[in-house]
């Protein structure tokens, strides 16, 4: 952590002096660093104004995902969903973050059945029984709001619905278990325990990520257990948790298009994602 003048106004934007505000946080972080834990660099600790901006962007993402509940129907193409979200995003003075991001060709990701993530909207017509994930990231006034959820297309099997439910629980339990000034390890531990209890596997090659001022910032959020010390969860951090839970193997293959990730055994993969902010007492869901 950089040295800050004790009498300077605090970096968080509270208008208090640093010595009466975030110095307390930095002293705790320094102690954890002495114990061998990685700590966030100060750019990862968002100001009050940044958090307000990120929250507005997240609320737009959430509204679009909510609206899709009444729109997604068998027979619809994933391109039609893409175009609807694209236009609604612009109408709300925002930009769809995926479009042209590292040459991604569309405005959202649509991942059906065995597609783990990063599915590209196409002329594929949704069929009764499909499990669809829609992942939306809006940029509003420069701030990112990233979230995804599952949609059941018409009637789906009980098994598929159950897998989606457990995946959502993995996400929710991991958020509930967050305590500031503990390590990020708790997230992967919570997700893996819940998934394995229900005999699902956890995808390892993709993770959550810091976000807010850029699409993907540090830290990488692991969705499975690690036996080494991860970063200390600190008030002001904004990141996503987005577990991908599989019916069979956790192994993935990337298709020729360079984006679409599918399960190696073509069995079902489900995913839910929120953007959260760390407060003094826990985590608050922004999406």
Q: Contact positions toward Co ion, by CB under 5 A?
A: 135, 146, 148, 240, 273
Buried b (16+ CB within 10 A) or exposed e, 182-204: ebbbebbbbbbebbeeeebbbbe
Stretch that binds ligand MF3, among 98-106, 172-180, 186-194, 245-253 (CB under 6 A): 98-106
By CB under 6 A, the residues from 10 to 49 that bind ligand MF3 are: none
| Residues 267-286, mask of contacts with ligand MF3 (x by CB under 6 A) | ------x-------------
Six-digit token pair at 274?
Answer: 């929120």
Residue 212-251 contact track with ligand MF3, rule CB under 6 A, x = bound: ----------------------------x-x---------
Q: Which residue is nearest to ligand MF3 (CB)?
A: 98
Q: Which does 55 bind (CB under 5 to 8 A by kind): ligand MF3, Co ion, none?
A: none
Binding mask 137-156 for ligand MF3 (x = CB under 6 A): x--------x----------
Least separation in angstroms between CB 45 and ligand MF3: 21
Binding segment (CB under 6 A) for ligand MF3, from list 53-61, 99-107, 161-169, 248-256:
99-107
Which of 106, 111, 108 lies closest to 203, judged by CA? Answer: 111
Question: Does residue 98 bind ligand MF3 (CB under 6 A)?
Answer: yes
Which CB, 29 or 150, lies closer to ligand MF3?
Answer: 150
Residue 24: other Cβ atoms inside 10 A? 12
Nearer to ligand MF3, 235 or 243 (CB): 243
Which of ligand MF3, Co ion, none lies near 274, with the C-beta cut-off 5 to 8 A by kind? none
Instruction: Report the alpha-carbon distance of residue 204 to residue 242 in Å, rounded.
Output: 11
Mark out the alpha helices in the chain (DSSP H runs).
Answer: 23-34, 48-68, 78-91, 158-176, 185-197
* In the complex, least distance from residue 259 CB atom to ligand MF3, rounded to whole angstroms: 6
Output the furthest CA–CA distance in the chain (Å, rounded): 63
Count of residues in the chain: 287
Shortest separation between residue 206's beta carbon and Co ion, angstroms: 9
Least CB distance to ligand MF3 at residue 170 (A): 15
Residue 168, phi then psi, degrees to nearest 5: -60, -40
Question: Which DSSP string do the residues of 245-256 spell out, in sequence order?
Answer: EESS---EEE-T
| 3 state DSSP class of 190 | helix
Instruction: Confirm if 135 and 240 have CB atoms less than 8 A apart.
Output: no
Question: Does the protein bind ligand MF3 through residue 50 (CB under 6 A)?
Answer: no
CA atoms within 13 A on the CB side of 244: 30
Residues that bind ligand MF3 (CB under 6 A): 98, 101-102, 104, 109, 118, 135, 137, 146, 240, 242, 259, 273
């Amino acid at each position: 952590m950089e040295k800050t003048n004790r009498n300077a106004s605090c970096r968080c934007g509270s208008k208090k002096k640093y010595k009466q505000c975030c110095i307390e946080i930095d002293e705790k972080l320094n102690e954890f660093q002495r114990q061998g834990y990685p700590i966030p660099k100060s750019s990862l600790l968002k100001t009050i104004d940044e958090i307000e901006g990120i929250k507005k962007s997240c609320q737009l993402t959430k509204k679009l995902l909510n609206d899709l509940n009444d729109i997604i129907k068998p027979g619809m193409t994933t391109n039609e969903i893409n175009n609807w979200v694209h236009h609604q995003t612009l109408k709300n003075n925002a930009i769809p973050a995926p479009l042209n991001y590292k040459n991604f060709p569309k405005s959202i990701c649509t991942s059906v059945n065995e597609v783990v993530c990063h599915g590209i909207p196409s002329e594929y017509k949704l069929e009764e029984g499909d499990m669809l994930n829609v992942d939306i990231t809006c940029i509003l006034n420069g701030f990112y709001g990233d979230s995804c959820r599952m949609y059941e297309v018409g009637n789906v099997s009980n098994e598929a619905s159950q897998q989606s439910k457990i995946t959502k629980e993995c996400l929710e339990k991991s958020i509930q278990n967050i305590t500031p000034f503990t390590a990020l390890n708790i997230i992967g531990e919570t997700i893996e325990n819940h998934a394995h209890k229900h005999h699902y596997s956890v995808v390892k090659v993709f993770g959550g990520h810091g976000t807010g001022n850029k699409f993907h910032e540090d830290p990488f959020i692991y969705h499975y257990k690690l036996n080494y010390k991860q970063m200390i969860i600190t008030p002001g951090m904004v990141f996503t948790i987005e577990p991908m839970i599989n019916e069979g193997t956790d192994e993935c293959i990337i298709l020729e298009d360079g984006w679409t990730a599918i399960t190696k055994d073509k069995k079902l993969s489900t995913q839910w994602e929120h953007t959260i902010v760390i407060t003094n007492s826990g985590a608050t869901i922004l999406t």
